[in-house]
Chains A and B, each alone.
Chain A
Amino acid sequence: MISDSITNASATAAPSARDFGKKKRTNRSAKLKQSKLGLRREQWLSQVAMIHKGDKEEMESNRRTGSEKPDQRDRPVENFDGQGREEENNSGGTDRHESFIESLSNSPNSILSGMNSIPNFSSSSSSGSGGSCSGNITEEEDADDDGCLDDWEAIADALAADDEKHEKENPPESCQERENIKQSASPTDLISGSDVAVRDAKPDCQRTMSRKQKSNQAWRPDDKLRPQGLPNLEKQCSFPVMNLHFSSVKVPSSCPICYEDLDLTDSNFLPCPCGFRLCLFCHKTICDGDGRCPGCRKPYERNTVKVEANVQGGGLTIRLARSSSMFCRS
């Protein structure tokens, strides 16, 4: 049943996929130079092209026999990915929208991310007016692990198409890709945007469309829910919410040491496992002295603080790298 649908879908999708392939090659030639996956995709493309030459002639027999399963197993991935790419290029407006949303969602976290949102927005808007795909490409190229991101998208598409059970295995995989998702929420969102456009582009392709809807069903909760399911994104997105939650319950409004009001950074600051909160200035003063927590009198665990600092520092450097590259580009 599944294999049959794959055969049919790929067979019907084949001509349009070839069309997309042509556009894609011209559009993506620069983009895929550095990507391993891109090279692989080129190979797939040529395979598909070769197959499609025979495909038109052998479409009938192909449908009956399903003899090319090994190749067709690759093809859905290729097709979806190709379509995703194609729509990614077409959806400049969506990109702008998404990235703006992303910047909004990022903005409460820090001034840096707030700064980040500005170049992000401006760059994607410029990409919307100029080259539709420039914003996306450069953004992906800015990220060092671009290939991983593509790989992840492809894997996720394939998983959605293949079997829903794989969804359960997805989180562990995606754990490796947290950084990618964290950095490139908008490319991830683009896929959902692309799915919408895919339906417009290929209204005749019922099978593929249903597949896409399937993958939409797999994606939609993912687009909205997966970021929250991922620890890093949870930290990033829902921290203000948690703060609000805690501030009503637990977080004091003022520093118990200096009695000054805690700002957002201070109320995010939890230096001791005992839960005693204080402002960063007082913490610094204490660390310059005996370095014991005022709440429990235990010495501040330097390692914990360091790890926190590393996490924060890592996030900062990532954002900085991204925003600085944005600045360079614009």
Chain B
Amino acid sequence: MIDFSRIQKELQDCGRDNDSSGIRVSPKADDLTRLTGTIPGPIGTPYEGGTFQIDITMPEGYPFEPPKMQFSTKVWHPNISSQSGAICLDILKDQWSPALTLKTALVSIQALLSAPEPKDPQDAVVAEQYMKNYQVFVSTARYWTESFAKKSSLEEKVKKLVEMGFGEAQVRSAIESSGGDENLALEKLCSG
């Protein structure tokens, strides 16, 4: 049985002070078992300027079990799977404490973005790049942030795609059908 009253209160607490941290938690559905967390990329890192979305699934035993968290935004980070968005963070596994909250967990993920642990990697390719070729890692991470974590406005996307040579009406419908994802819309446009 999930402690919904606690989740409810956590959501209220997050809503109260999201201005200072930029961290938000909002329910995906009405049942409060699936939530979406949003963290801004830490300043001074390749993730600066990005806004990262995290899918949160509340387990039955919450808060005695950790919430399941996974990046839905693609991130280039040694401890985050570039494919699935799975996060390698101890407090989401064996070091979870019931005293932690969704907010503190998201803060920890934010801290993980600014302090990668390549010796305990989730994504071995990224970790190897981080260790062997840090500059390439930084530029890749920044590119991914620019590509996936920055919410450009609809008009910017339309303008970009129109500049590529597609018709504006075509572009708008492609963006709409791909859920606002610029790259997905481009794929659709290219495939016809």
A285 touches B64 (CB 8 A): yes
Q: Is the CB of B98 within 8 A of A286?
A: yes
Contact of B6 with A258 in the complex, beta carbons under 8 Å? yes
Please judge, given known A-B contacts A257-B63, A285-B64, A286-B64, whether A294 and B99 are in contact too, CB under 8 Å.
Answer: yes
- Mostly, the A contact residues are loop
Does A297 sit within 8 A of B, measured CB to CB?
yes
Q: In the complex, what distance in Å separates the CA atom of A297 from the CA atom of B96?
A: 9
Q: Is the CB of B95 within 8 A of A257?
A: no
CB distance from B44 to the nearest CB of A (A): 30
Q: Which residues of chain A are near B95, meaning CB under 8 Å?
A: 297
Contact yes or no, A294 B98, CB < 8 A: yes
A276, CB-defined interface residue at 8 Å: yes
Determine whether the beta carbon of A276 is less than 8 Å from that of B64.
no
Q: In the complex, what distance in Å separates the CA atom of A297 from the CA atom of B63?
A: 14
B64, A259: Cβ atoms closer than 8 Å:
no
Within 8 A of B (CB), among A250-297: 256-260, 276, 278, 282, 285-286, 289, 292, 294-295, 297
Cross-chain contact A276 with B98 (CB below 8 angstroms): no
Query: Which chain B residues numbered 64 to 107 have a C-beta less than 8 Å away from chain A?
Result: 64, 95, 97-100
B99: A residues at CB distance < 8 A: 256-257, 276, 294-295
Closest chain B CB from A5 CB (angstroms): 66
Cβ of B97 and Cβ of A259 under 8 Å apart? no
Cβ-defined contact, A257 with B9, below 8 A: no
A259 engages B6 (CB within 8 Å): yes
Give min CB distance, A278 to chain B, whole Å: 8
Residues of A within 8 A of B6 (CB): 257-259
List of B residues within 8 angstroms of A294 by Cβ: 97-100
B97 → A minimal CB distance (Å) = 4
Contact call A258/B3, Cβ cutoff below 8 A: yes
Complex Cα–Cα for A285 and B6 (A): 15
Residues from chain B with a CB closer than 8 A to the CB of A295 are: 97, 99
Q: How far is the CA of A282 from the CA of B99 in the complex (A)?
A: 11
- B191 — which chain A residues lie within 8 A by C-beta? none
> Could you say which residues of chain A place their CB within 8 Å of the CB of B3?
258
A257 / chain B contacts, CB cutoff of 8 Å = 6, 63-64, 98-99
Contact residues in B for A278 (Cβ distance below 8 Å): 98
B residues lining the A interface (CB < 8 Å): 3, 5-6, 9, 63-64, 95, 97-100
